[in-house]
Amino acid sequence: MTTLVAVTVSNGVWIGADSAITDSGDRRCRELEPFAKWDFLDGWALGLSGCPLTAQAATTALSEIKRWLQQDATFEKLLMARCTLLRAYTDYNVPVKEGHYKASGMLVGDGKVWDIGSSGVFLPGTPGKLFASGSGADFALGAWQVQEQLTECDSYFGKLTCCLEAARHYDIYTGSELWVKFLDRDGKFV
């Protein structure tokens, strides 16, 4: 399982994740390389949680999804991005449970974040608000809310690190090394 976080700021997007993967059946954990839960293509980043097929499927569709969401993401473009993702999920036989894919995540590009729901819907993010996905998402969101009220931590790097630490502490599927990076509007890490 996974915990992914992202927040949009005026000049780009802060992203982060843990670096462990677990089998939900037996809770065995193995460590991944940093950034392994995110795929990068031409300045865009795609982070997904769920079964390994999810990431393979979405990565194959990333360039087409990117094309639909560049510049103005109208309703029609969001719908086309969803259709592209669902076609890739179908091609890779991503498991479906109760009408939803065993996958969720987020796409980052052009200084924006889109939440990708388990039904393949792309929802545009709100600047300054945390997006979190995966098994530790609720813990990360709770930590963000506390930090927003206490204003102890004034850096986004610190805030996202605290969110991931909360997820790692309370979620049995989140673990190992945590990382946080800044992706500017040009798609470069700063």
CA–CA separation, 106 and 115 (whole Å): 4
pLDDT at 116 over 80: yes
pLDDT value for 176: 79
pLDDT at 143 over 70: yes
pLDDT at 117 over 80: yes
The mean pLDDT of 88-95, rounded to a whole number, is 88
pLDDT at 50 over 80: no
If DSSP codes are grouped into helix, strand and coil, which group holds residue 158?
helix
Q: Dig out the tokens for 123 from the structure.
A: 């929802």
3-184: CATH, from 3.40.190.10, 3.60.20.10, 3.20.20.10, 2.30.30.90: 3.60.20.10
pLDDT at 26 over 50: no
Taking the domains of the chain in order of start, what are their residue ranges?
Answer: 3-184
The mean pLDDT of 105-109, rounded to a whole number, is 89
CA–CA separation, 93 and 109 (whole Å): 27
CA–CA separation, 99 and 79 (whole Å): 18
For the ranges 20-34, 65-79, 98-112, the lowest mean pLDDT is seen at: 20-34
The mean pLDDT of 132-152, rounded to a whole number, is 87
pTM: 0.85
